[in-house]
Structure 1
C-alpha cells in the first residue's frame, strides 16, 4: 500500500511531499510557500497537517491533506513568538513552543482546521535563575488533560493547563532536571504512565513516572544514549517509542547515529547505536507499518530508511535514501 510522507526542511524547498512504497520514499512535489517548516503535526482525523515556520517572527500554517498527494494551504497565522520549533493539536487548539523567546502559545481552531488569531501566550520562566527558557517541545498527555513543555534553558519540564473554552495557558507543575541536561524532546510510553525525556546538552534519557490524575512528573534514573567513542558534544535531537513499548529510538547529531534503548522497569538501557545514514540526523519516525525507521539528515540533505527487526527492535544497515535539501522532519499521512 502506497502512503504519503511529508518532509519538513530548513533552508530547503519548503514542505516536501513524497510517496512511500514498501520502504523507499519518492519525492513527488513541494509547497514552497510554507517556509522553513522544521516541525509538523497532524490533526486527530489526519485531514489537516500543521507546520511551524522557524523564523524570527514565527508562523503556523494549516494544510488540507484530505487528498494526501495534493496538499492545499488552508490558512496561516503569526505563531505569537520567535523561532517556533514544535507544535501539537490539543483539543480544539493548536499549541506551539518557541525556542528563541521561550513562549508557548495557543490558537483556537476553526471546524475546517484553520487556526484563528493567537489565543494566549505563556512564558516559561524561572525568575530566580535568569536563564533563557528556550521552550522546545509541547506534547499533550494521553489523558487529554495536560500539556507537557520542555524548557531546554531552564533544565525543566513544565506541566501546563489549557482552558479549552478560552485557550488560556497556565503553569500547573514542573519537574527539574540536573543542570546542563537541556531537555529537548520527550515521549510518553504507550502505557501512559511513563515519560522519557531526552537531553540535548547532556546526552541522556531520563525516565519519569507520570500521574495523569494529579498532573505531576516524578523524576527517575537517567542513562547515556551515545556509544563508546562518541564525540563531545553530540546534541541528541529526537526520541520515539516502538508501538509495542519495548524500545526507544534516539537520533544523535554529533554522532550521526541512532541509538536503540530497551525499556525496562527502571531506566532504559542502551543496546546499540547504528549509522543514521547521513550527517546531522534531526528527526526520526517509524513508517506506517512499524518495520522501517526514517531519519531526516539535515546537513547531508537526505532522508534515509533502515529496516527494523520485529523481534529485537534493532535497525539493520541503511537500505536507501532520498535527497531532500535541509531535511529535518518526517510525518506520514
Structure 2
C-alpha cells in the first residue's frame, strides 16, 4: 500500500508485456510499469507475508518465477526455476513450498521456498491419472484446503478433482482420494466457501458449478448438485474461466468466455442460484478478483486486452455498469497486493 487510497495491482498476461504493475485509486487502475522478463505469466500467487509474488510462465517448458515485491511498485526478479512440467496454468503457496499445476502434461509439481522467498530446484512431481481412462489429465489448478493439510488438484481432462497428501518436509505428493464429475464437465477451477465445509467446482466444457461437501479430517469430497452459470440467451458454446467467493460467503462470481460476462450467484443452503449476468466490457474474460471491502470487481479481458472494474453492492452482491477500463495486452490475471 502506498497510501490509504492507493493499492498496487499486478496483472498477468499472455502474448502481452510480461508482468504488468498498476495502482488502484478509488477503484480506478493506472498502469505504472512492466517486467517483460517474466514471460507469459498467466497465474500469480503471493507468499504468506506478501513480500514475494510467484508467477508461472505458461510455456511448453514451464517456468516458475519468484518476484521480490517488498517495494510494491518496484518489483525485482529473485529466482526462476523450471516448473517441472509443460504448460503450467496455476500455482499456490503450500507451507514452505510452491505447488504448480501443468495443463499440457498433467503434472503437479512442488518447489521449496527459501527464507528470502526465492525458489529452490524442483522438489517433487506427480502425474495425475485415472488408470484405464486413456484421457489426458490437463491439470488446471492446485488449491490448499483451509486446514493446510491437503492439496486439491483440478484435472480438466479427467473430469475429476484429486485430493493429494503433501509431505511438508520433502514436498512429495501422493493421491489420497478423488471426486469424479460427469463426463465432459471439464472442471477448471474451484473455490472453498469461507466456512471451509463446501467447495464450488467450475466446469469449463459444461458451464456449471458443482457443489461438494468437504470433510477435512477424512480428506474427501462428496459431490452435490450442479447449476448452470450462464444467463438466458447465452451463446453456445461458452467457456467459464474463473470463480471467486465473496468474503462473507454469500455470493459467487464466475467469468464466462463467449458470453463475455460475469455471473453472480447467491449461495444458500442448497445449490447456488444465478441472480445476475453482467457484461465485462471486454472479450474472453479470464481471471477476476474482488477489491478490498468487496466494493469493486476487477476482470481481466484477454481479447484484445483490458482490465475493467465494476462496482459491487456488498449487501445484494449485484454488479453495476462498468466504471472504467485500462488497456493491458493479453490480460489474464489480476492480483491485488
TM-score by length of structure 1 reads 0.99
Distance in 1, Cα, partners of 2:131 & 2:174: 16
Aligned to 1:240: 244
List per-residue Cα deviations over 1:293-315 (Å, max 9, x = no partner).
00000012100000001210100
List per-residue Cα deviations over 1:99-140 (Å, max 9, x = no partner).
000000000111111110000000000121110000000000
Match of 1:101 among 105, 119, 126: 105
Match of 1:11 among 2, 12, 15: 15
Name segments (4+ residues, structure 1) moved above 3 Å: none
List per-residue Cα deviations over 1:276-328 (Å, max 9, x = no partner).
11000000001123100000000121000000012101000000000000000
TM-score by length of structure 2 reads 0.98
Match of 1:88 among 82, 87, 92: 92
Distance in 2, Cα, partners of 1:57 & 1:49: 20
Distance in 2, Cα, partners of 1:156 & 1:238: 17
Match of 2:73 among 69, 81, 90: 69
List per-residue Cα deviations over 1:120-169 (Å, max 9, x = no partner).
00000012111000000000000000000000000000000110111110
User: What pairs with 1:1-333 in structure 2 (closer than 5 Å)?
Assistant: 1-333=5-337
Distance in 2, Cα, partners of 1:247 & 1:300: 29
* Structure 2: runs of 5+ lacking an equivalent: none
Distance in 2, Cα, partners of 1:48 & 1:290: 24
1:289 alignment partner, SS class: helix
CA RMSD of aligned residues (A): 0.5
Distance in 2, Cα, partners of 1:317 & 1:202: 27
2:157 alignment partner, SS class: helix
Distance in 1, Cα, partners of 2:53 & 2:165: 24
List per-residue Cα deviations over 1:165-202 (Å, max 9, x = no partner).
11110000000000000000000000000000000000
Distance in 1, Cα, partners of 2:21 & 2:127: 34
Distance in 1, Cα, partners of 2:294 & 2:304: 25
Distance in 1, Cα, partners of 2:328 & 2:267: 32
